[in-house]
Amino acid sequence: MKNLPLSPVGYLTFAIFGASAVQVHAEELQVAALNINKVEVASKRISDTKPVKGYQAKKSSSATKTDTPLIDIPQSLSVITQEQINDQSVQSMSDAVRYVPGVTASQGEGNRDALNFRGSGVTTGDFYLDGMRDDIQTYRDFYNTDRIEVLKGPNGMIFGRGASGGAINRVSKEAGWDPVREIKLTYGAYNQKRSSIDIGNAINDFAAFRLNAVYEESDSYRNGVSLNRYGVNPTFTITPTDNTKITIGAEYFKDEHIGDRGIPSIGSGLNNRPYRLQDYQTFYGNAKLSPNETETKAFNVMIEHAFNDKLSIRNHTRYASYDKFYQNVYANSAVTNNAFNVGAYRDTTDRENFINQTDVIYKITTGGLEHQLLAGMEIGTQKTNNSRFIAGTSENIPNGFSALNPTYRLPINLNNQSRNQTSDIDIFAVYLQDQIKINEQWQAIIGIRHDQFKTHYDNIKTNQIIEVSDNLISPRAGLIFKPVENLSIYGSYSLSYVPRAGDQLISITATTSSLEPEKFVNQEIGAKYDVTPNLSLTAAAYKLERKNVAITDPANTSQNMIVDSQETKGAELGIAGKITDHWSMFGGYSYQDAVFTKSMIISGSSYLAGTTLGQTPTHTFSLWNRYEFNEKWGAAIGVISRSNMYALTPTTTASTLLPGYTRLDAAIFWKASPKIKVQLNIENLTDKDYVASAHTNNNITPGAPINGRATLIYNF
């Protein structure tokens, strides 16, 4: 962390804070001498602001980098609140998004969070923490998360590269002056044991602390699969002046688990089906030889200063070090004549991120128009080291292993290094945004961002160095019409780029390095209606185009060319909040028509025009309902449903169709005393056999059978 740079505006922020601190301490000494007690600190009130009530969020800064009411954001956005996370006993990222329309969870090879937004393709890199990139391939825990904001549609103006179909931003729990003292204990099916603590308090009028920690160990409905994880996250909030706030946090998190790539398919090519889905326990490969481990160390500092009611500045720095190791022994083919291929490899990744963002926000009125101007700059570096080891010359060891006895017990020696590579990414970006209030009925937002994205890639195994510099221009525009205060109708345009280095910054080759970055363009119309102060309805229709896709040049099969070839047309409906004082609801419906628009060959595989894109169901529906019978008792019922989808985009020779399903969940809540709450969550109430997710045509995760977990929450 030595010699980590700050942007020029960042240095200005520190200078402002320092001068202000000296001034305020002098004033405080004078006040103390006069025996005058300050009753209230303005910044304390700001830090304790809660933009969420129940299942309904009112505001967000993820989509605009400013504190904006959701009804005034021209983009589809779902917020999973703290109350919803608790009520649903959310255990993973895939659990978190299961009630969010337009987002599908992917398997991620059993070692990482992976999501598909609007058929744009599976992403493992579009994850953010408090607006800062958090893109290592790992599983995330929510022990220190206040809420999860799911943005749908590309928005390069806010996030820079990536966010091709959307992004996930976790908002951290922050130290404040309201006392927090909570212990949570969970015991569930398959020997799940989890404990967490959330404790915080004021140190004095100018400083507060908060500590979140978690420990969990559990087995699984899948034979041989288990996890062990623990983490600690202390945070401090300091307000040296009424107009200055400093938030400091650090995290250590360790995740150890067995990588589970599920079951293979059965068939000989087209429209294969999952193999023996009812036998959901069987591990194909070897669980003991599939360990996964990720260690995360991170440090965050945010400094905010308001010069007056119109001008403020914010500087945010995040340093994170990720150390990841995983090994897989798994099914690497379909089952044919009761036999399948076993694959194996070992992979290690070390990543170091340093990112600094500075935003200046200025409110001004000119010519009868109210402007909220945002000017910002981001600088950063991302250094990645990755290597992989296989047995012999391929991952298969051996061919034709028996599916009737699928535990691989033969010796394995992963000693052949198939890749050894590093990438150094330098990021420099500037952006400008204007949120304009034209009158009481009309608002607009326009913005533009320029990213200079420099890649230094070193293939150590082949002694090949590739240098690429991308200059990305990402505009956004939105127009909002509010016929009444609680209803907005909007139209928007946005785009984002994914450079050839890919989600994980190591996908570049000599062949693709000269190609333009992939481009994702989103056109959207929608409406947001606050039916009551506690209930919101949303609707959106969109067209998302994927452009600059690299395909094989039919005139020269040794070369690539780029074409515009994928398109998703869709619609979404959402609901969040309280139907009555006793009845809360969250969920939605999505329709997605995601297809190839041209026939083509990509990496040797042929695709036909009109082919449905993989992991993109045409229909999804989800609805969670909680009802309070009285002050002590409550219950909830949830339904999750999706139509058929392909595990991967079908080629002319291979595809696996995953059947649709409908699953029911339930919960019971008991407030035993003012300090003690007990809840019981039951998943898959009807014990449905179904496919939860997939990674490839032959890595398919069966859903868990009926299971439950009990949680005790003690506030002291």
Q: What six digits make up the tokens of 276?
A: 């023996």
Beta strands in 17-165 (DSSP E): 52-53, 56-57, 59-60, 68-69, 76-80, 103-105, 115-117, 122-123, 127-129, 132-133, 145-152
Classify residue 627 as left (phi > 0), alpha (psi -120 to 50) or beta. beta
Which residue in the block uniquely carries the two structure tokens 């028996």?
Answer: 402
CA gyration radius, the chain: 26
User: How many Cβ atoms from other residues are within 10 Å of residue 499's Cβ?
Assistant: 25
CA separation for the pair 120, 152 (Å, rounded)? 11
664-689: average pLDDT: 97
At 495, list the tokens: 């785009």
| Average confidence (pLDDT) over 237-258 | 97
Measured CA to CA in angstroms, residue 714 lies from 79, 199, 275, 516, 678 at distances of: 26, 12, 44, 55, 9
Residue 653 CA to residue 349 CA, distance in Å, equals 34
At residue 152, the pLDDT reads: 96
CB 496 within 8 A of CB 474: yes
Three-class DSSP category at 87 = helix
**Sequence-separated (6 or more) residues with CB below 8 Å from residue 75:** 63, 151, 152, 153, 155, 478, 492, 494, 524
The residues that bridge with 672 in the sheet, in sequence order, are none
Identify the residue whose tokens are 């304790």: 48
- Contact (Cβ atoms closer than 8 angstroms) between residue 551 and residue 601: yes
Contact between 196 and 123 (Cβ < 8 Å): no
User: Does the structure show a pLDDT above 90 at 9?
Assistant: no
Angstrom distance (rounded) from CA 319 to CA 358: 15
- Say which residues have a Cβ less than 8 Å from residue 456's Cβ, sequence separation at least 6: 423, 424, 425, 426, 465, 466, 467
DSSP 647: S
Q: Are 588 and 640 in contact (CB under 8 A)?
A: no
Give 493-536 pLDDT, tens digit per residue. 999 999 999 999 999 998 899 999 999 999 999 999 999 999 99
The mean per-residue pLDDT over the stretch 371-380 comes to 98
- State whether residue 83 is helix, strand or coil: helix
612-635 burial by CB neighbour count: b if 16+ within 10 A, else e? bbbbbbbebbbbbebbbeeeeebb
Is pLDDT at 40 greater than 70 in this prediction? no
User: How far does the chain reach from its first CA to its final CA, in angstroms?
Assistant: 38
Task: Give the pLDDT band of residue 561 (cuts 50, 70, 90).
Answer: confident
pLDDT of residue 111 exceeding 70, the answer is: yes
CATH architecture of 43-248+264-715: Beta Barrel (2.40)
Angstrom distances, CA of residue 395 to CA of 137, 329, 416 = 21, 9, 10
Please identify which residue in the block is written with the tokens 């994170």.
320
Q: How far apart are CA 217 and CA 227, in angstroms?
A: 6
Residue 114: both structure tokens together: 């992976």
Q: Residue 396 pLDDT > 50, yes or no?
A: yes
Q: Given a cut of 60, is residue 571 above it in pLDDT?
A: yes
The CA distance from 331 to 341, in Å, is 6
Label residue 6 by pLDDT band (50, 70, 90).
very low
Please report the pLDDT score of residue 7 as a whole number. Answer: 42
**Residue ranges of domains in the chain:** 43-248+264-715
pLDDT at 64 over 70: yes
Longest dimension (CA), the chain: 90
Q: How confident is the model at residue 53 (pLDDT cuts 50, 70, 90)?
A: confident
For residue 557, is pLDDT > 80?
Answer: no
228/248 Cα distance (integer angstroms): 27
The bridge status of strand 127-129 relative to strand 166-172 is: parallel
Question: What is the phi/psi pair of residue 391, to 5°?
Answer: -100, 120
Alpha helices in 57-195 (DSSP H): 82-87, 93-96, 156-159
pLDDT greater than 60 at residue 41: no
- The DSSP secondary structure of 251-280, one letter per residue, reads EEEEEEEE----B-EESSSTTBEETTTT-T
Which is more confidently placed, 632 or 34?
A: 632
As a whole number, mean pLDDT of residues 624-653 equals 97
Residue 50: predicted pLDDT: 60
The number of beta carbons lying within 10 Å of the beta carbon of residue 194 is 21
In this structure, are residues 516 and 564 in contact, taking their beta carbons and an 8 Å threshold? no
Asked if residue 18 has pLDDT above 50, the reply is no
Phi, psi of 102 (to 5 degrees): 90, 5
Kindly report, residue by residue over 122-163, the tens digit of the pLDDT.
999 999 999 999 999 999 999 999 999 999 999 999 999 998
Task: Tell which residue, 284, 222, 272, 115, has the closest CA to residue 697.
Answer: 272
Q: Which helix (H) or strand (E) holds 546?
A: strand 535-547
Beta bridge partners of 431: 376, 449
Handedness of CA 261, 263, 266, 272 (dihedral sign): negative
Binning pLDDT at 50, 70 and 90, where does residue 434 land?
very high
- In the prediction, which pLDDT does 1 show? 41
Task: Say which amino acid occupies 305.
Answer: H
- Decide if pLDDT at 20 tops 50: no
- Residues 13 and 302: their CA atoms lie apart, in Å, by 10
Q: How far apart are CA 320 and CA 106, in angstroms?
A: 25
pTM above 0.85, yes or no: yes
Percent of the chain with pLDDT over 90: 86
For residue 553, pLDDT over 90 is answered with: no
Mean pLDDT of the chain, nearest integer: 92
Angle at CA of residue 531, ends 525 and 535, nearest 5°: 100
Question: What distance in Å separates the CA atoms of residue 543 and residue 546, rounded to the nearest whole number?
Answer: 10
